[in-house]
Structure 1
Amino acid sequence: MKNLGLIGLALGVFLTAGTLADDRPGHSAHGSAFDTGLRQRPWRMQGIGKTHFAVTTKVPEVQEWFDQGNTLLHSFWFEEAERSFRWCLKLDPDCAMAYWGLAAASLNWFSPGTLDDPVSKRGLEFLKDAVRRKDSVSARERLYIEAWDKAFNGSSPDRSRVLASEVQKIVLAHPDDVEAKALYALYSINAGMTWATELVIRQVLEKEPDHPGAHHYRIHNWDGNSTEQALESCRRYGPIAPSVGHANHMPGHNYTKLGMWKEAAISMDAATRVELRYMNERLALPYETWNFAHNRNYLSYIHEQLGMEGASLAGARALIAAPRDPLMNKDDEQGAYDQGIQALVRCLIKFERWDDILKSGVIPWRDIPADKAGRAFAEALAHTGTGNLVEARARLAELRAQVKDQSEKNKGMNVDLAIAADAAEGLLKAAEGDVLEATRLLLQAAAAEQRNRDSGSYRNDPPPYPWPVYRVLGDVLAARGEHRMAVDAYTRALKVEANDAFALAGLAASHNALGEREQAARFAGRFSAVWANADPGLVWRAKVDELALDAKPIAETPASERDYNVDLQSNLGPLDWEPFAAPKFDCLDPDGKPVRLEDYRGKNVIVVFYLNESCVHCVEQLVALDKRASDWSGQNTVILAVSSTPPEKNKESLKLGGLSMTLLSDTDHINARRFTSYDDFEDMELHSTILIDTRGRVHWKRTGGDPFTDMDFILKEVKRMNESQSHADAGTR
């Protein structure tokens, strides 16, 4: 989990802050650190768990919002935590601990050592304001501010070690401070003291059995290391904080390590739905919340392991179809599109859909290094699988070239790509009949993969590659009749991918070939337990059935599992992102006549919230849009430009009156608030560009201190919007 690349999270604060003031329209008066992120007031959130962190404040209501923000920090919901802390400052502008909360949301467990990224820089500005006010709080609170100051303004790049040391001082000075113990546990993870951290977590839970942070940190503490020690917290964390996507995600993360695939699916399915429900309620899009794509990719991987190929592919394609943003979701980052490609390729390889891999258009490859390598790997396997060994050899050469090129450009390149190349060549050598070289290459790849896993450098969150190499080594050995050796390879595969159904099927077949029917039946039973809800017609199911072992499903897991039923999860929210219904829209045209979105049903609408004609950048955006009028009309699209300017002034506008678009009035900002184009913390309008389809559903938006002016990107998204609607219409006929 700690290698996640978080998107920029930002909420501005009030009054004097440590950044330069910005008097440009639409920008925070307190500096660029406060210009992005969630800028609408918080609400009292249900289903997030409860914690209490006493703070000094002149306004009693602040304590409630601080507790909410602190509770959200414990579940790594940093952007929503910031929203609550910012409201604390709306109520009490000099609340030092609210600034500390904002700093802690940006300077956290994920923070890099260099602190030169935008999120960390924001956090340092917030921290300055907390330090500036530290003499106004209690001695206990001051210790928290000083701990973060020493960790993030000190010379040591090991922030977690410094924080653990400093928070330990708080624990010693205030032994009844549950929050200090919880944070001490968090920052002690990965410090080689797993059991000691567990003992601290137990102290927290003894006093507060439902503390969300304690259960969360226990799961991380044992993740990949005696994972079963966190089973109790895996069971409890989600129910304690059911409205938090990450509280459902992390148990699923650990269940996969234990081979409890049904429980993993229940948790990750819930995480995905809860996240999407929140997004739809709060008008958030996939590129605005890092957890969504991560959850959906992980769920697709779990579906693969359960034999639910169709569900896995559907999830991958939904990620690819999700809206994109040129700043927050670049093609070479871990956004929805990137993770969708990863999930699609992984699933097609795992289920040996060689024709689909080779068919043009099935995988929307991009012209970037990661996709060039991924395509060479996938197509080398596909050509090998279809017997076209000449083409397989050519693709393998491309893959080897990519390995060399990427390793030269990036000395710290993850060696997974080199392992993939060895595995692909091993399978090709086996197909060519060179069994000794095939075995050598696959053993070499499997050993390297094992070293990666042992060192913690193997990407397994979820894995981008389709199988443990030991599993395909087992397949190669079994195919040439080396069943005893195949049993050893499959057994090793199960040690790294617990209850992997593909390895279980191989073990059933190899033990049966060796005349070991009892052991074969045991593995066939385990296979059937994992694939109880698998898609019909899969070859692995057929091969196990052909053994005629009459094996009853036997689950071998550290604890009992519930059955995973997709339909029973639907009450939690949708599983895949779809455009959400636009909020109510009722403005006035220059003649004072009401205008609603319903008036444009059957047409796409680009809604632009701008400030006024005195805003130079606003005028530039609207003029740029107007210059592309033929592009919009060609895509069945109209533009509605909305500001707080009264109708009569819009009618008389000299700067904008000549534009072909409709100027609309939202004098009391009601529509701007509905579309989250209003800053509740500083009481000002924001710039927004919103794409709404012919059915009145939001497909894409951008809100912030600057207007969005990338017209080519908007046109591209409008075309994607039309294409998706066309596909949806075809599906209903």
Structure 2
Amino acid sequence: MMSSVSRSLLAISLGCLMISPVLADGNRLGHSKHGSAFDAGLRSKPWVMEGLGDAPFPITTESAEVQRWYNQANALLHNFWFEEAERSLRWCHKLEPDNAMVYFGLARCGLNWFTMGSQGPELQRYKDFLIEAVKRKEGLPVRERMYIEAWEAACLRGEEKPVEVIVQKLSQLSVKYPDDIEAKALLGLFNIGYGSPLANDALLMSILNLSPMHPGAHHARIHNWDGVSSEQAINSCELYGKAAPGAGHSLHMPGHIYSKVGMWHEAAIAMDSATRVELSYMNNRLALPYETWNYAHNRDYLCYIQEQLGRAEESIQGAKDLIAAPGNPEMNPADGYWTQFPLLRALVKFERWEEILDGKTLMAANDPFAGMMFGSAEVIALLKTNRKAEAKEKMRGIEMMLVQMKKGQGGEEALPAELPLPNIIQVAQAWIKISDGDRLGGLSILMAAAAEERKARESHSYPNDPPFDPWPVMRLVADVFADGGDHRAAIDAYEVALKQEPNDAWCLAGLAKSWTALGNRVLAREYAGQLLAVWSGANPGLKPITDVLALNLDAVAKPVTPRPERAYDPAKLDHLGPSNWKPFAAPKLAAVGVDGKAVKLEDYRGKNVLLVFYLSDQCVHCVEQLAAINSKMSQFEAMNTVVLACSSDSPEKNRSNDLSSFGLKLISDKDHENARRFASYDDFEDMELHSTILIDSAGRVRWKQTGGDPFMKIDYLLAEIGRW
């Protein structure tokens, strides 16, 4: 099932697509004539995308072109590529602006499995699309009208249980139209978590019997079994990526399953491929990480899998690149994806204590709760580097902060008294007791934390998508037993932890050591061989494997997995593109200055460029933005940054208008060719858009924002340049 973290990520992404405010006046410059619902989302024309899978959704239309784009949008929706689905549907709307099913498709881009039942403001535009579909539903064939009415009943009538409503409506549609594969595919998706996974699987398999490579059916099967009985989904994992190789999510989801069953090499191949496919798309389409909802999730999950393969350097570098990626200034960092956690997880897991404590590797936490978790990692690092007094002092500060948060001091809402502490805080408390010689007290804390974790895992409420924690706590319990010489208890605890995280190298190493200590070198050799198979590509010198090699067990690599798996070799995936985000090359700029001479980005190589696309000197908001930038021109100049302001105004007009007195350089883009190249033009309504783009001294795009209103947070631009 989809975790709360992933659902939050999508909600944040939908929020990112709502940069423009809701406006009633569609005639404002840069705003849609169709209303505020059309002011957000991608606004350049779609293109035929390969490798999405075959999932036609026939609708009433007079245009074969509309049907083709609609089919593409439906395939994109099956692959959870919502923003691109909306782009294809916007083109359908341009061709047939009164088509009810086009409006229905647009509504599905936001009112979907992730968000059904949510009431966030970011969903209003999708409800507006649905309202327009409802207005136009009369006269449609019954099948199409039933689709619209299913979403109408679930999303527009204040239902308390909208998922149950939509499941009921899709069931009725599937019964009335048994040959409608799409109705069954949607039913199979929305039915996840409601009723029997086995019964739902039978429904999805009935689709695959007719259409063996249906992307939506394979995708839904993976979610259906994820966290329930993950091995049941392996067949669909093997086929989903083949059915839709051009969609990163089709490669991402198999990685979920493979990681749950301990097939870490196959998981890495899947997740690395997903990351590369999406990054190639992002670079080709000028999309930044925060504009692509699955990017952070992909990269975090890949970091986690690389950790489990002992590829410490790759996982840590990936986590650092995730932090370095540009963010969305419209979102509160505390509400967004906690991009620091992958780095924290890796540093703790690989015992990089000095880096945790150096004051520069980990940035300051962006909220008090995260701060307590980071502080707890520092407590552990201080203890491991023999700085117990400092560790205790920091722990006291964390505990005082926790008391304040539970009381709701400082204007913050009080935390529920029964809320379990994050595992890492409890682990830090346990290590302090153990460092004081109170082994039983430390074990008591660890056992309680492990029990809470077990309950959370069994109830599917444990954040395991991927986990924030560096370890299953039961593995730490086992370590304490082993350190105390109680190897029987250690083995029992390691086995429990190994069920929670199959083929975990640290557990395998612990089992090999404990069985050796008990004199059973045969069993020890088996676990050592299992470890060697998992860590066949691990960085040299890591403690788990060096400890096991020192046992001289003469073990040979012996994988223990549900299916044979390929060895993960990142070099074999290079044809898909990079796996870590880097700034992409800026498109060509070919404009004309006020002197009539050509202006190119190459003219400013060696300088940073703030490129602003504005509508004209008659646009009040444009002038406000340029004036705000001009007021800080000295700061931009001090940061080696030149400002280029581009519009369709002629060089002659630029020479004579009031903006010519500003310190920025006015350039002309008469035919909007530059605006189109920089995705600052609305192809659906043939109009210019506001764009603010930061380009570094090497000619690479570092940050951008496009929409119906200009970007006004000028200090953010300066801060972003300062990060380079």
- TM-score higher than 0.5 here? yes
Paired position in structure 1 for 2:396 = 397
Find 1:423's aligned residue among 422, 427, 438: 427
Paired position in structure 2 for 1:437 = 441
Q: Does 1:284 align with 2:283?
A: no
Paired position in structure 1 for 2:360 = 361
Q: 1:63 to 1:102 in 2, by over 3 A?
A: same
Tell me if structure 1 keeps the 8 A contact 2:334–2:366.
no
Find 1:121's aligned residue among 124, 143, 159: 124
What displacement does 1:393 show?
2.1
Find 1:688's aligned residue among 688, 691, 694: 691
Tell me if structure 2 keeps the 8 A contact 1:483–1:510.
yes
What displacement does 1:389 show?
2.1
Give the AA of the match of 1:486. Answer: A
CA distance in 2, matches of 1:271, 1:646: 45
Give the AA of the match of 2:333. Answer: D
CA distance in 2, matches of 1:410, 1:231: 43
Q: 1:517 to 1:359 in 2, by over 3 A?
A: same
What displacement does 1:255 show?
0.8
Q: 1:100 to 1:671 in 2, by over 3 A?
A: same
What displacement does 1:413 show?
9.3
Paired position in structure 2 for 1:725 = none
CA distance in 1, matches of 2:215, 2:366: 43
What displacement does 1:659 show?
1.2
What displacement does 1:158 show?
2.2
Give the AA of the match of 2:618. Answer: S
In the TM superposition, 1:28-427 aligns within 5 A as 28-111=32-115, 113-118=117-122, 120-328=123-331, 330-335=332-337, 338-339=338-339, 341-408=340-407, 409=413, 411=415, 415=419, 417-427=421-431
Aligned residues: 711
CA distance in 2, matches of 1:19, 1:32: 5
Give the AA of the match of 1:668. Answer: D
Superimposed CA distance per residue, residues 68-89 of structure 1 (whole angstroms, 9 cap, x where no aligned partner): 0011111111111111111111
Superimposed CA distance per residue, residues 459-507 of structure 1 (whole angstroms, 9 cap, x where no aligned partner): 0111111000000111111001000000011000011111110000000
Q: Aligned to 1:106, what secondary structure does the other structure show? A: coil
Q: Aligned to 1:136, what secondary structure does the other structure show? A: coil
Q: 1:494 to 1:534 in 2, by over 3 A?
A: same
Give the AA of the match of 1:473. Answer: V
Identity across matched positions, percent: 50
Q: Aligned to 2:701, what secondary structure does the other structure show? A: strand
Tell me if structure 1 keeps the 8 A contact 2:308–2:504.
yes
Find 2:490's aligned residue among 465, 473, 486: 486
Superimposed CA distance per residue, residues 588-647 of structure 1 (whole angstroms, 9 cap, x where no aligned partner): 111221111111111111111000000011111111111111111111111111000011
CA distance in 2, matches of 1:359, 1:78: 41
What displacement does 1:458 show?
0.6
Paired position in structure 2 for 1:497 = 501
Tell me if structure 1 keeps the 8 A contact 2:612–2:690.
yes
Find 1:676's aligned residue among 647, 655, 679: 679
CA distance in 1, matches of 2:348, 2:324: 21
Q: Aligned to 2:549, what secondary structure does the other structure show? A: helix
CA distance in 1, matches of 2:636, 2:23: 40
Superimposed CA distance per residue, residues 69-128 of structure 1 (whole angstroms, 9 cap, x where no aligned partner): 01111111111111111111111111111100111111011115342321x211110000
Paired position in structure 1 for 2:410 = none
Paired position in structure 1 for 2:584 = 580
Tell me if structure 1 keeps the 8 A contact 2:116–2:163.
no
Paired position in structure 2 for 1:711 = 714
Q: 1:116 to 1:291 in 2, by over 3 A?
A: closer
What displacement does 1:433 show?
1.4
Q: Aligned to 1:642, what secondary structure does the other structure show? A: strand
Q: Aligned to 2:508, what secondary structure does the other structure show? A: helix
What displacement does 1:457 show?
0.9
CA distance in 2, matches of 1:12, 1:445: 39
CA distance in 1, matches of 2:153, 2:118: 15
CA distance in 2, matches of 1:619, 1:555: 65
Tell me if structure 1 keeps the 8 A contact 2:13–2:292.
no
Q: Does 1:665 align with 2:664?
A: no
What displacement does 1:687 show?
0.4
Tell me if structure 1 keeps the 8 A contact 2:181–2:207.
yes
Tell me if structure 2 keeps the 8 A contact 1:419–1:448.
no
CA distance in 1, matches of 2:261, 2:318: 23
CA distance in 2, matches of 1:524, 1:615: 70
Tell me if structure 2 keeps the 8 A contact 1:258–1:558.
yes
What displacement does 1:159 show?
2.0
Q: Does 1:541 align with 2:545?
A: yes
Question: Bigger shift: 194-203 or 590-599?
Answer: 590-599
Tell me if structure 1 keeps the 8 A contact 2:13–2:290.
no
CA distance in 2, matches of 1:617, 1:186: 44
CA distance in 2, matches of 1:560, 1:360: 43
Q: Does 1:22 align with 2:26?
A: yes
Q: 1:531 to 1:79 in 2, by over 3 A?
A: same
Q: Aligned to 2:333, what secondary structure does the other structure show? A: coil
Q: Aligned to 1:135, what secondary structure does the other structure show? A: coil
What displacement does 1:683 show?
0.7
Give the AA of the match of 2:226. Answer: D
Q: 1:412 to 1:30 in 2, by over 3 A?
A: farther
Paired position in structure 2 for 1:731 = none
Q: 1:406 to 1:11 in 2, by over 3 A?
A: closer
- RMSD across aligned C-alpha pairs, in angstroms? 1.7
Q: 1:114 to 1:302 in 2, by over 3 A?
A: closer
TM-score normalised according to structure 1 size: 0.95
Find 2:626's aligned residue among 592, 616, 622: 622
CA distance in 2, matches of 1:271, 1:289: 13
Q: 1:419 to 1:578 in 2, by over 3 A?
A: closer
Q: Aligned to 1:703, what secondary structure does the other structure show? A: strand
- Which runs of 5 or more residues in structure 2 are unaligned? 408-412
Q: Does 1:597 align with 2:596?
A: no
Greater RCO structure (CA 8 Å; 6+ sep) = 2
Give the AA of the match of 1:553. Answer: A
Q: Aligned to 2:361, what secondary structure does the other structure show? A: coil
Tell me if structure 2 keeps the 8 A contact 1:304–1:347.
yes
Give the AA of the match of 1:342. Answer: F
What displacement does 1:131 show?
0.6
What displacement does 1:419 show?
3.4
CA distance in 2, matches of 1:257, 1:440: 28
What displacement does 1:435 show?
1.4
CA distance in 1, matches of 2:140, 2:534: 55
CA distance in 1, matches of 2:133, 2:420: 43
Q: 1:604 to 1:464 in 2, by over 3 A?
A: same
Tell me if structure 1 keeps the 8 A contact 2:524–2:553.
yes
